[in-house]
């Protein structure tokens, strides 16, 4: 009578890995993401952080990003004019 291998042993012999680790594949770079690795769902696609950055930089105008991060926008002239009106600001 042959005793069957434990499932972890059988899997190790077949795949080199004792357990089946489930992963999520990045839709853009096809990297496999496991366990605690962060994934982002962008337009319904699961993507890694690096690919999310690329998508954001390709998809959004810098003014939209500045608004999203509450970064003040002005022009050089307006900035200089404000600085001259308030020369002691920031001191």
Measured from the CB of residue 48, what is the shortest distance to Zn ion in angstroms? 3
| 16 backbone dihedrals φ, ψ, rounded to 5° | 85, 0
Other beta carbons less than 10 A from residue 51's beta carbon? 20
Q: Kindly state whether residue 39 participates in binding Zn ion, applying the rule CB under 5 A.
A: no
Q: Kindly state whether residue 51 participates in binding Zn ion, applying the rule CB under 5 A.
A: yes
Q: How many residues bind Zn ion (CB under 5 A)?
A: 6
Measured from the CB of residue 58, what is the shortest distance to Zn ion in angstroms? 13
Q: Kindly state whether residue 45 participates in binding Zn ion, applying the rule CB under 5 A.
A: no
Other beta carbons less than 10 A from residue 46's beta carbon? 15
CB 63 within 8 A of CB 70: no
Q: Kindly state whether residue 26 participates in binding Zn ion, applying the rule CB under 5 A.
A: yes
Q: Kindly state whether residue 52 participates in binding Zn ion, applying the rule CB under 5 A.
A: no
Measured from the CB of residue 50, what is the shortest distance to Zn ion in angstroms? 5
Residue 58: its H or E element: helix 49-59
């Amino acid at each position: 009578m042959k005793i069957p291998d434990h499932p972890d042993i059988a899997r190790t012999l077949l795949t080199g890995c004792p357990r089946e680790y489930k992963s999520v594949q990045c839709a853009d770079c096809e990297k496999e993401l496991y366990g605690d690795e962060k994934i982002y769902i962008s337009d319904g696609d699961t993507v890694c952080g690096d690919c999310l950055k690329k998508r954001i930089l390709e998809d959004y105008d810098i003014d939209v990003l500045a608004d999203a991060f509450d970064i003040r926008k002005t022009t050089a002239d307006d900035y200089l004019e404000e600085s001259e009106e308030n020369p002691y600001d920031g001191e």
